[in-house]
Amino acid sequence: MKPNKAQTKSIAKDTKRQGRPGRLPLSDSAKITRQITAVTLCVGLILATGKWYIYSESNSVGILSSLVHSTLDLLGSVSSFLAVRYAAKPPNDKFKFGHGKAESFSAVFQVCLIILGAFHLFEAIIDRVSNPRTLIQGDVAIIIMIALTLITFCLLILQTRAVQSTGSIAVRGDRAHYLADLFANIFVIVGIALSSFTILVWADAAVGGLMAVWLLWTAFKIARLAWAQLMDKELTRSEKDLIRKLALEDNQVIAVHDLRTRASGPHIHIQMRLDLDDKISLSGTHDIVLAAENRMMKAFQAADILIYPHPVSCEHKHGNKHFNNTLPID
């Protein structure tokens, strides 16, 4: 059953809120990602500097863990800052699909940094357990950490809005860093308080251990997102359903076959075959295909769309059999 226009608009509106690539025009998406990565870079520098000062004064392994995390955040932010600008470059003769996957490579770089940081933390924790030391100026450390936590929270609000608008994997990776950093700060504050004002002197090292595990989990989640884009994973089921429904909105379109989709940074690529009546003229076929592309572009404004018209009476399949045989029936 083909959807009416009201249903299609409702589906498109719901899908836009999912924070997926291709929702905004490339110029708007690039502007948002450039702005948020610049803000993130500045905030990352403030957080790392503040935590370095606290660690030098307090000698807390929990703060050291948070400092390592923030340093990795800062390096990741530099990577994202550069990647989103490169990814926004228009296609050229050598890269006709654009440069969007630069964001995925940035995410892989962040994963490597996170894993290195986690193992560094494990070493620091083992040293602290073997050679326990008393925390210094725990009350001052707590006050500064609370201030830095509030700054991180404000940054997360801005990053979340940017991800919802652009679906950028680089910004999403940055956001994962700082979300982990937010919880890390909370754990560190609790650990410092317990170590400074109670007999639970081991709490500081325990918090550092929890944060090392958290870093590894964060690395896994970012790696999974980057892997999906680098391996050209299909868009979500809801997005593909929307694409089919938009194509079938024209009663002259009989069926949609061989739908292939993938994301590449802020862009998405859509390819499909439309079955049409044999009696439609070449110019009429062109008008149908163009109208279908325009409908999809309204929902996926950063999409590269390729549609093959196909006479419904012709049973011959296009393309390489290897790929046709592995495609599910659409």
**Please, what are the domains in the chain?**
21-230 (1.20.1510.10), 235-326 (3.30.70.1350)
Phi–psi pair at 201, nearest 5 degrees: -70, -20
Q: Count Cα atoms within 13 angstroms, Cβ side, for 255.
A: 9
Mean pLDDT of the chain: 79
Structure tokens at 225: 């997102």
Strand order across the beta sheet in which 253-264 lies: 253-264, 267-276, 303-311
Check residue 89 and give its pLDDT.
Answer: 82
Q: Which residues of the chain register pLDDT less than 50? A: 1-4, 7-12, 14-18, 329
59 forms beta bridges with: none
Nearby residues of 124 by Cβ (< 8 Å), 6 or more positions away = 61, 64, 65, 208
* Under 8 Å between Cβ of 169 and 176: no
Quote the pTM value: 0.65
DSSP 91: P
161-209 per-position pLDDT tens digit: 888 887 777 787 788 778 877 877 777 777 777 766 766 666 666 766 7
Q: How far is CA 23 from CA 30, 148, 218, 265, 277, in A?
A: 12, 33, 26, 12, 32
